Amino acid sequence: MTSRSVRLPWGPMARMAGRRTLFAAPVLLAVTFGVFAVAALSPFDPVKAYAGTAGLTASQDRLDELRANLGVDQPLVTRWWDWLTSALTGDLGTSSVMRQPVADVIAGRLGWSALLAACAFTLAVLAGTGLGVLAARRPGGLLDRAVSGLAYTLEAAPAFWLGLLAIWFFSVRLGALPSGGLTDAGSDVVTFGQVASHLVLPALVLGLSQLPWFFLYVRQGVADALAEDPVRGARARGLAERTVLLGHGLRSGMLPMLTLIGSRVPELITGALLVETVFSWPGIAAATVQAATSVDFPLLAALTVLATAAVLAGNLLSDLLYGLADPRVGFDG
């Protein structure tokens, strides 16, 4: 008995990725210009934010000198073009709020954000899929009603509220988990055990904020698949319920969820902004909040480009997965 290897359509997939990359370039340019335009209209003064309390007593000449050093005295288009041409050579500028190169800020924080997002997303997908399949077995049953009600409640709950509730219950009330940070207070060494224990609550909260969408999509998709004639025919032929559920219902029900993976990236980023702030997690999202409140042009532009690129990459991944799962769709997008 011979087995045939599955050949992936690398050519069509590469062409789709190429088209999306060409489309992404003008989008990223527009986004970066929008960041500088919004920052220019902001009532916050980046010079005073940079100077801190010293800016309250500094002379106007000193403030003007500092403004020239930071480059914020230039016209909007000039500031944007100078930043863009430098960024294309790898120089993302210097963060005024972090007092270090933007590339170093991103390099030091990106890994922690990726770890948090990966754990939360994995939790949301696995738990949402599992609960969705179980609920779809008996629509309207006790499990379906209980989990659906919980999903709608979590869907309406803000991520920061879930974070504060988790801190109150697990950290303050039970004392079982740390309330924030990356390591224990007073510890200068980052160890696996400390990071793992501090990761539990933020990953749990961020994952729970994304779980309702995956649960509802899988539940509806599997329930619709189980009601189709081919599945009823498989049951009539005496196939085991597990085979029918996983081999037929889940396979068909997973198709709508594949499109959800990419579309949830913006919500994941937004949720990470709140979760990292609540739990003092040293990631990219927390730096974004600091850059926005301090009108840190170089850092804010770089982080916005990074977030936009993540959204575009998520949408591309979603379309590629859907095209692989359903050959009828293809890779023409």
Element (H, E) at 94: strand 94-95
232-250 per-position pLDDT tens digit: 776 677 666 677 776 667 7
| Mean pLDDT to the nearest integer, 176-195 | 80
Residue span of the structural domain in which 318 resides: 92-325
| Mean pLDDT to the nearest integer, 138-145 | 86
Q: Note whether residue 274 is domain-resident.
A: yes
Instruction: Supply the CATH number for residue 195's domain.
Output: 1.10.3720.10
What does the alpha-carbon distance between residue 41 and residue 4 come to, in Å, rounded to a whole number? 61
Among 291, 287, 312, smallest CA distance to 110 is for 287
Q: What six digits make up the tokens of 38?
A: 């919004």
Is residue 127 within 8 A of residue 217, CB to CB? The reply is no
98-126 per-position pLDDT tens digit: 778 888 888 888 888 889 988 998 999 89
Q: Note whether residue 65 is domain-resident.
A: no
Q: Note whether residue 265 is domain-resident.
A: yes
Helices and strands: H and E segment counts in the chain:
14, 2
Q: Note whether residue 66 is domain-resident.
A: no
pLDDT at 211 > cutoff 80? yes
- The count of domains in the chain is 1
What does the alpha-carbon distance between residue 195 and residue 180 come to, in Å, rounded to a whole number? 10
In 3-state terms, what secondary structure has residue 293? helix
DSSP calls for 181-211: SSS-TT--S--HHHHHHHHHHHHHHHHHHHH
pTM given for the model: 0.77
Q: Note whether residue 159 is domain-resident.
A: yes
| Mean pLDDT to the nearest integer, 256-279 | 78
Q: Note whether residue 196 is domain-resident.
A: yes
Q: What pLDDT is stored for residue 3 in this prediction?
A: 45
Q: Note whether residue 69 is domain-resident.
A: no
Q: What pLDDT is stored for residue 120 in this prediction?
A: 92
- Radius of gyration, alpha carbons of the chain: 24
Q: What's the mean per-residue pLDDT of the chain?
A: 79
Q: Note whether residue 299 is domain-resident.
A: yes
Q: How many CA atoms lie within 13 A of 277 on its CB side?
A: 17
Q: How many CA atoms lie within 13 A of 7 on its CB side?
A: 4
Q: What six digits make up the tokens of 189?
A: 């060494």
Q: What pLDDT is stored for residue 48 in this prediction?
A: 64
Instruction: Please name the amino acid found at residue 313.
Output: A
